[in-house]
């Protein structure tokens, strides 16, 4: 079962949030247990030293007699030699007995405790990861159901669009035969094309199927799409510097990319503004430059539902980025408010 990008993002974030929270809590608990085990080891060694001080019947400790003024009696001490304790000797106050547990043996004991806790920590992390996946998947189910319902609703609406749009296109073409010079009929046709363009955007938004590739005459396609938008926005001047170039890509996806970028360049332009289209066959780059309002936050424009104007749904450029990624086209933008925007498409991989 394939997941959409938003579902993968939600699943990964839920997993990380749940897993990291549990892992941190468990780390604190295990660290406290680790410290308690070390303390228990020290207390056990000190108890054995106390018992050994009475009869010296203990092979794990070495003993010696030292001056009394070194350390406090009947306490556990650590230094480079190991761990030790001092005990008084009957009938003398000048010397005390020092029982020592060597560093090597003490480090081995510590290493055993450490290995045990590391092993337990890894096992617990694996269990927590499994639980986190189950929890994240369970938390994702309502989102998946909502997205499925949303997609089905959009598909139904798009399907219902076909009948009235077909009627509009048929009747407008019949009217144009009777009144070929009527500008109102041309505007109706342009409105229908705009609705079809929106319909295509919505299909691209919900469709994650692999794209079939064709041989596309990019210069010819740009010419046709720019002519359409030039008639839609008669107050915008379109300038074209197009070199012959063919690419291997999905035709519908390329049309969708061009339509969104060219329509945005015209829609958000200034009155009597310009749109410059440059197709460089040698560098394999398409540049769309406008003299419009510009973009305040260029890094955000490809995010879903992000928009800086009241017009539009905020999904056009997100669809452009999605299609560019599918076609292995690198898209970049440079923009300044009130000075226009420049979109560059790198077509080297097509």
Answer whether 269's CB lies under 8 Å from 236's CB. yes
3-class DSSP state of 2: coil
| CATH code where residue 238 lies | 3.30.565.10
- Residue 67 in any domain: the answer is yes
Same domain, 136 and 234: no
What does the alpha-carbon distance between residue 310 and residue 312 come to, in Å, rounded to a whole number?
7
- Residue 153 in any domain: the answer is no
- Residue 162 in any domain: the answer is no
Q: Which residue has the tokens 């669009």?
A: 161
- Residue 150 in any domain: the answer is no
Give the domain-ending residue among 90, 116, 141.
Answer: 141
Give the domain-ending residue among 116, 141, 166.
Answer: 141
- Residue 29 in any domain: the answer is yes
What does the alpha-carbon distance between residue 249 and residue 327 come to, in Å, rounded to a whole number?
7
- Residue 200 in any domain: the answer is no
How many Å is the maximal CA-CA distance in the chain?
132
Give the domain-ending residue among 141, 161, 189.
Answer: 141
For strand 246-249 and strand 214-217, is the pairing parallel, antiparallel, or unpaired? antiparallel
Same domain, 128 and 228: no
Each residue's pLDDT tens digit in the chain (350 positions)?
566 677 788 888 888 998 999 999 999 999 999 999 999 999 999 898 888 888 778 888 888 888 766 668 888 888 888 888 888 888 777 788 888 899 899 999 999 999 999 999 999 999 999 999 898 888 888 877 777 777 777 777 766 777 777 777 777 777 777 777 777 777 777 777 777 766 766 666 566 555 578 899 999 999 999 998 888 888 999 999 999 999 998 888 898 899 889 989 998 898 889 999 999 999 999 999 999 888 888 888 888 777 776 666 667 888 889 889 888 899 999 998 888 999 999 999 88
This prediction has a pTM of 0.54
**Domain residue limits at 290:** 213-346
- Residue 196 in any domain: the answer is no
Same domain, 120 and 236: no
What is the domain count for the chain? 2
272 half-sphere exposure, CB direction, 13 A CA radius: 0
């Amino acid at each position: 079962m394939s997941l959409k990008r938003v579902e993968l993002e939600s699943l990964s974030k839920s997993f990380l949030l749940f897993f990291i929270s549990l892992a941190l809590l468990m780390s604190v608990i295990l660290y406290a247990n680790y410290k308690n085990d070390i303390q228990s080891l020290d207390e056990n060694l000190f108890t054995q030293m106390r018992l050994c001080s009475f009869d010296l019947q203990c092979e794990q400790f070495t003993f010696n007699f030292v001056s009394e003024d070194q350390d406090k009696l009947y306490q556990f001490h650590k230094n480079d030699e190991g761990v030790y304790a001092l005990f008084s000797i009957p009938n003398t106050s000048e010397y005390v007995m020092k029982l020592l547990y060597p560093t090597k043996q003490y480090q081995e004991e510590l290493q055993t405790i450490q290995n045990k806790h590391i092993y337990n920590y890894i096992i617990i992390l694996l269990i927590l990861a499994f639980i986190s996946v189950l929890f994240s998947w369970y938390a994702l189910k309502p989102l998946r159901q909502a997205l499925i319902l949303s997609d089905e609703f959009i598909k139904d609406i798009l399907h219902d669009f076909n009948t009235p749009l077909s009627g509009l296109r048929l009747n407008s073409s019949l009217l144009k035969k009777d009144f070929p010079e009527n500008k109102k009929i041309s505007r109706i046709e342009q409105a229908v094309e705009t609705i079809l363009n929106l319909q295509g955007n919505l299909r691209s938004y919900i469709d994650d199927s692999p794209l079939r590739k064709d041989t596309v005459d990019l210069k010819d396609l740009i010419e046709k799409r720019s002519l359409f938008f030039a008639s839609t926005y008669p107050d915008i001047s379109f300038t074209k510097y197009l070199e012959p170039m063919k690419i291997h890509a999905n035709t519908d996806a390329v049309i969708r990319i061009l339509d969104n970028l060219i329509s945005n360049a015209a829609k958000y332009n200034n009155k009597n503004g310009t749109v410059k289209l440059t197709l460089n066959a040698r560098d394999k780059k398409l540049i769309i430059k406008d003299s419009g309002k510009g973009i305040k936050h260029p890094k955000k424009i490809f995010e879903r539902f992000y928009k800086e104007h009241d017009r539009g749904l905020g999904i056009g450029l997100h669809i452009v980025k999605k299609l560019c990624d599918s076609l292995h086209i690198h898209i970049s933008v440079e923009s300044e408010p009130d000075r226009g925007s420049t979109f560059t498409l790198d077509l080297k991989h097509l």
